[in-house]
């Protein structure tokens, strides 16, 4: 059995990588992947906590499904926006989004 400390350490490392990506790069896809990585890290922490607790809690299942639903909607939105921006020939630098001509 993996210790709870290792699970939370993995979650913190993933959140650190995500925040580093968010802070250093202004590319749209990197920002969206950083947010998705934060959602994955929170899911890992939640699963580790509820596995360690060993109590059947229906709230944990609802929480996991809601996190996965938000992540799925985020990926769908990312892909739709990416295809739209590629079609329009736009740049993916977030700092230039306000200069786009629609």
CB contact set of 55 (below 8 Å; sequence gap of 6+): none
Residues 57-76 have pLDDT tens digits of 677 777 778 878 887 888 88
CATH for 40: 1.10.287.3510
How many domains does one find in the chain? 1
Q: Which pLDDT score is estimated for 20?
A: 92
Q: Which pLDDT score is estimated for 27?
A: 79
Residue 98 covered by a domain: no
Name the band, by pLDDT with cuts 50, 70 and 90, for residue 102: low
Q: How far, in Å, CA of 39 to CA of 74, rounded?
A: 10
Quick check: helix, strand or coil at residue 92? Answer: coil
Residue 47 covered by a domain: yes
52-57 mean pLDDT: 68
- Structural domain range at position 46: 4-90
Residue 101 covered by a domain: no
Alpha carbons within 13 A on the beta-carbon side of 14: 18
Residues 80-97 have pLDDT tens digits of 888 887 788 777 676 766
């Amino acid at each position: 059995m993996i210790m709870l400390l290792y699970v939370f350490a993995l979650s913190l490392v993933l959140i650190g990588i995500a925040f580093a990506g968010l802070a250093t790069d202004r590319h749209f896809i990197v920002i969206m992947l950083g947010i998705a990585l934060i959602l994955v890290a929170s899911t890992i922490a939640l699963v580790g906590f509820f596995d360690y607790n060993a109590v059947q809690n229906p709230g944990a299942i609802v929480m996991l499904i809601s996190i996965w639903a938000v992540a799925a909607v985020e990926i769908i939105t990312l892909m739709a926006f990416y295809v739209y921006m590629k079609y329009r020939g736009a740049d993916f630098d977030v700092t230039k989004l306000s200069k786009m001509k629609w």
